Amino acid sequence: MDPTTDTDRDTMEAQDAGREGESELAQELNQTQEHLLRALAEVENVRKRGERAVQEARIYAIERFARDLMAVSDNLQRAVQSAPEAPEEPVRSLIEGVQLTEKSLAEIFVRHGLRAIGARGDRFDPNLHQAVAQIPSESPAGSVAEVFQAGYVLGDRTVRAAMVAVSLGMAQTEPKPEPAAAEPPLPSELEARTERIDITS
């Protein structure tokens, strides 16, 4: 047996084994990199979800408190609307104080992200409005004709839908029927009329 041949064979086998080992290491490295990328992506998703949860908690933390204050705002609006048009001095001062309180409360709502919704002419949106009636009005059909109670939106969430009446459009008046034309007299009636005239004359 030629020792040179045996040495070459051993060298080739060692090279093959080395290549196989490198291939396995490369596969393991690729798998490790893939697992690492997935783990990093999951960590990023968890971080974003956490930030979103904190932001939503900050925005919607006052929702229950805001619901209670909405009733106060409604009562102030009703008090202003029911006030006489030309009150005497003591009553006028009281009404002005109520108006200032209502305005101050509305500004506080806006400052904390609570926005009033529901105005005449707005397009009816079932996500924002609660229709309690449909009435003919000068507003276009499908729009808000009357607002019975204001609604509120906190961030992107509807806290309370506005109670509204939806317009049916202008009321159409039915045309008056024209009077029926008089039918021409029959020949027998003409003869009778002629006879009566002759007798009278």
| pLDDT tens digit at each of 201 positions of the chain | 555 565 656 566 666 666 666 778 888 888 888 888 888 888 888 888 887 777 777 777 888 888 889 999 999 988 888 888 777 878 888 889 999 999 999 999 999 889 999 889 999 999 999 999 999 998 899 999 999 999 999 988 899 999 999 999 886 655 556 665 555 555 555 555 555 554 444
Separation between Cα atoms, residue 169 and residue 135, nearest integer Å: 8
Pairing of strands 114-117, 162-167: unpaired
Place of tokens 């080395």: 18
For residue 177, the model assigns a pLDDT of 60
Cα distance between the two ends of the chain: 167
DSSP 138-166: SSPTTBEEEEEE-EEEETTEEEEPEEEEE
Pairing of strands 162-167, 129-135: parallel
- Tallying the residues shown for the chain, one arrives at 201
For residue 201, the model assigns a pLDDT of 44
Separation between Cα atoms, residue 70 and residue 152, nearest integer Å: 8
Do the Cβ atoms of 167 and 137 come closer than 8 Å?
yes
Separation between Cα atoms, residue 19 and residue 143, nearest integer Å: 76
